[in-house]
A = this chain, B = another copy of it.
């Protein structure tokens, strides 16, 4: 069994996404376009908590000129396809995040440097189900954000 080259493996790690998208587009009789591909590509590269503005900036940096409206439309499309999730942290604007099937995580946010770490905790999730059952709820999703200060030296604006 031979190992694949790094460049190929990187492509592979995104392939499932493109395939899932193609499938969705076909099912809905929607079309593949240059802009859509570019946005998706950039979205996959930036990979975490991307805002529409950040994507537009990235697109311009890559020499592409994509309208903001198209970016919003594409992100909403991805959200409808279940491939991305719209989130909002403290302030009032949206960021988008790739949804990997079966992979859920929560967030740990540094109030000093704005860094966002992801974590998973099965026990917390189990307790959430317990709480929901107690109140006669059937859970479909949840959001858990922990806010605080990261104590590492790397924090750009640490207060000590």
A149 pairs with B143, CB closer than 8 A:
no
A107-125 CB mask vs B (1 if < 8 Å, else 0) is 0101100000101010110
* Cβ distance A96 to chain B, nearest Cβ, rounded Å: 14
Does chain B have a CB within 8 A of A33? no
Evaluate contact between B132 and A121: CB separation under 8 angstroms: no
Q: Which residues of B contact A142 (CB under 8 A)?
A: 144-147
Which one of B88, B123, B140, B149 contacts A88 once the chains associate, using CB atoms below 8 Å? B88
Contact of A149 with B127 in the complex, beta carbons under 8 Å: no
Cβ B145 vs Cβ A149 within 8 A: no
CA distance A92 to B52 in the complex (A): 15
Q: Does A19 contact B (CB under 8 A)?
A: no
Q: Is A10 an interface residue (CB 8 A)?
A: no
**Pairwise interchain contact B144-A144, C-beta atoms closer than 8 A:** yes
- In the complex, the chain B residue whose C-beta lies closest to that of A140 is B148
A138: interface (CB < 8 Å): yes
Residues on B with beta carbons closer than 8 Å to the beta carbon of A143: 143-145, 147
Interface residues of A (CB under 8 A from B): 88, 92-94, 108, 110-111, 117, 119, 121, 123-124, 127-128, 131-132, 134-152
